[in-house]
Structure 1
Amino acid sequence: MPAKERRRGGGRYPSTAAMELTTNLGPETVPGEFWGEHTSPVARALLSSAVQCFARKGFHATTTRDITAVVGLSPGSLYVHFASKEAVLFHIARTGHERALAALAAQHDDGDPRRHVRRLVAGHVSWHARHHTVARVCQYELAALEPAHFDEVLRLRQQFSATVQAAVERGVREGVFDVPDVDRAVRAILSLGIDLVRWYRLDGADSPEALGESYAELAARMLGAPSPGGDPLG
């Protein structure tokens, strides 16, 4: 399959799309530890700068000078730490997906599918809200990745779908959920956590946690299992 066509897919996890993005990103910054202990301080600074640049201007419109100027380095210094601008994007996309997937996997499963799905949705949504600028790059700049890098990120994305799919299917088997098409329901649920990166601001009306809880309730209603009286996520 041609690369362009292949990149339009992405399994059940919603793929990238050309959508209107707010240019006002708000006060979010990327903490250095986000990139892992084995990433050097200079590389961390370059990655964090690239996140802001890619989110504001897009990958193709961003130059190496844009990225390095923020941290007071010459354009050529980027290549000391990364093989290319595309390698910077790949590092951001892979790390962002790994962090988001870890947040999803950390959600407790006490054996109740309804509570488990609510926790999964709340964790997924709140992570994307908390890290909305990184997530924006992860969602909307993937088409610029080289095929091998794209495929590696795609494998991570498919794990999101598999995790939520398993929880929803268990709920259907146990008669907790009433949903005619599990695949479509999972796509819609995952989209709740992704679409917000277009508009969310940390200094807005909703905290990441409040948004997560609200969207968890929406997901429960989508599955035909609204929480009676407000089912706690804990």
Structure 2
Amino acid sequence: MAKRQARFTPQELEDDPRLQDHSPDLWGDEFGDVPRRLLTSAVRCFAANGFHATTTRDIAAGVGLSPAALYVHFPSKELVLHEIVRIGHERALAHVQGPEIDSVAGAAERLRVLIARYTAWHARHHVAARVCQYELNALAPDHYDEIRELRHRTNEVFRAAVARGVTDGTFAPVDVNRVVRGMLSLGIDLVRWYRLDGPDSPEQLGEFYAGLALKMVLDTAPDGHSGDSSARPTLTASA
């Protein structure tokens, strides 16, 4: 019989250095003090124990309240998860859009900035981002569809950046979808292991991963083809 995974109590989670990040900064002005604290507690509980193993009692206990207090602010545990995942995806998308990105000249520099910002965002909010990435299947179908659209829009930002470089000859004639999938995986996978008290700051890790991403598209493509600008670019359809 398989050994049951140990559950972490709210008291254990509060001071665990692996669960310290800037997630509390994500909650906007639409939330009061208590809902913000509940969302932060839920992030830690979901990240450590998973959505299904977390109870409303766990979330409320993390802020010193009774289980009934959660329902005053959120009708269900699933809606708590939805708020976390929705806000996380919206904030991550906003971080790679806007005038600051649009003003960057050159395909290579724009891609570098995008990857650096995307990676740093996930490192800075690695606990909330872990929930955003690994608890999606617990969402209700309509909420899942909403998040899937946000993910598609985020992917399109990077697809457009890589496709632009392929088209103008800056990048090798790579398979855009496959390369973008690899680039985004770099920035997302770190949520499993990153700690703010580790050797790399979010910005340092972002710059390092941006350098790796550029190596995927400059000079030599991942499939071994040279970056001959006369070659026809490979622009695959969106997933």
Aligned equivalent of 1:45? 37
Aligned equivalent of 1:100? 92
1:26 & 1:145 partners in 2: Cα distance?
22
1:79-115 CA distance string (max 9 Å, x none): 1111100000000000001111111114524230100
Larger radius of gyration: 2
Matched length = 203
1:45 & 1:210 partners in 2: Cα distance?
29
Percent sequence identity is: 56
2:215 & 2:86 partners in 1: Cα distance?
32
Aligned equivalent of 2:128? 134
Q: Which 4+ runs in 1 deviate beyond 6 A?
A: none
2:91 & 2:219 partners in 1: Cα distance?
29
Give the counterpart letter for 2:20 in structure 1.
Answer: P
SS at match of 1:176: coil
Q: With a CA cutoff of 8 Å and minimum separation of 6, indicate the structure with the bigger relative contact order.
A: 1
2:201 & 2:61 partners in 1: Cα distance?
32
RMSD in angstroms over aligned alpha carbons?
Answer: 1.5
Q: Gaps spanning 5+ residues in structure 2: where?
A: 1-15, 221-239
Aligned equivalent of 2:176? 182
Give the TM-score, by structure 1 length.
0.83
1:117-163 CA distance string (max 9 Å, x none): 00000000000000000000000000000000001111111111110
Kept in 2, the 8 Å contact 1:179–1:185? The answer is no
1:189-228 to 2 correspondence within 5 Å? Answer: 189-224=183-218
Which residue of the other structure, out of 56, 64, 83, is the alignment partner of 1:64?
56
Kept in 1, the 8 Å contact 2:20–2:127? The answer is no
Residue 25 (structure 1) aligned with residue 18 (structure 2): yes
1:122 & 1:28 partners in 2: Cα distance?
18
SS at match of 1:200: coil
Which residue of the other structure, out of 66, 69, 73, is the alignment partner of 1:74?
66
Post-superposition offset of 1:25: 1.6
1:189 & 1:179 partners in 2: Cα distance?
16
2:88 & 2:118 partners in 1: Cα distance?
12
Q: Gaps spanning 5+ residues in structure 1: where?
A: 1-22, 227-234
